[in-house]
Amino acid sequence: MYCFNSTVGLTNGILTLAGPSSGVWVIQVGTALTTATSQVVVASGGQACNVCWALGTTGTVGTSSKFKGNILAGSAVTFSGTGSSLVGRALAKTAVTMTGANLGLPSNWSSSTCRRTP
């Protein structure tokens, strides 16, 4: 689990999350997450379905951002600009807005590697 007290910006770079297919990443952000011209890469067997972004307020996935994982926002998630994409899910209390963005699920999303049993 990775915790940040306030806003997190991911701009002009690559965030690589590497681990086994059973690996789980939880990124907790106190307030907002903003991306621009960046990407999240899940490597070494890791699965996008096992990445959770818990945001206190909002998430903004900007132009040319390639995002992976499940976004859970306390307020809203906005995909702004062309070339932004999400492989995963976006859930928010108020709204999820997409303008010029692509949304998709990985081909193995329903497989046993992406399902957890209690």
Amino acid, res. 24? V
Yes or no: say if 10 and 35 are a contact pair by the CB < 8 Å rule. yes
Total domain count, the chain? 1
Cβ contacts of 47 within 8 Å, gap of 6 or more = 21, 23, 106, 108, 113, 114
pLDDT at position 12 over 70 = yes
> Is residue 112 one of the residues assigned to a domain?
no
How buried is 11 (Cβ within 10 angstroms: 0-12 exposed, 13-18 middle, 19+ buried)?
A: exposed
**Which of 114, 116, 84 minimizes the C-alpha distance to 99?**
84
Give the domain extent around 29. Answer: 2-13+25-40+49-104
> Is residue 71 one of the residues assigned to a domain?
yes
> Is residue 20 one of the residues assigned to a domain?
no
For 26-44, write each residue's pLDDT tens digit. 999 999 999 999 999 999 9
Yes or no: say if 15 and 33 are a contact pair by the CB < 8 Å rule. no
> Is residue 19 one of the residues assigned to a domain?
no
> Is residue 60 one of the residues assigned to a domain?
yes
**Which of 50, 76, 55, 80 minimizes the C-alpha distance to 65?**
80
> Is residue 110 one of the residues assigned to a domain?
no
> Is residue 80 one of the residues assigned to a domain?
yes
For 78-108, write each residue's pLDDT tens digit. 998 788 889 889 999 999 998 878 777 666 6
> Is residue 82 one of the residues assigned to a domain?
yes
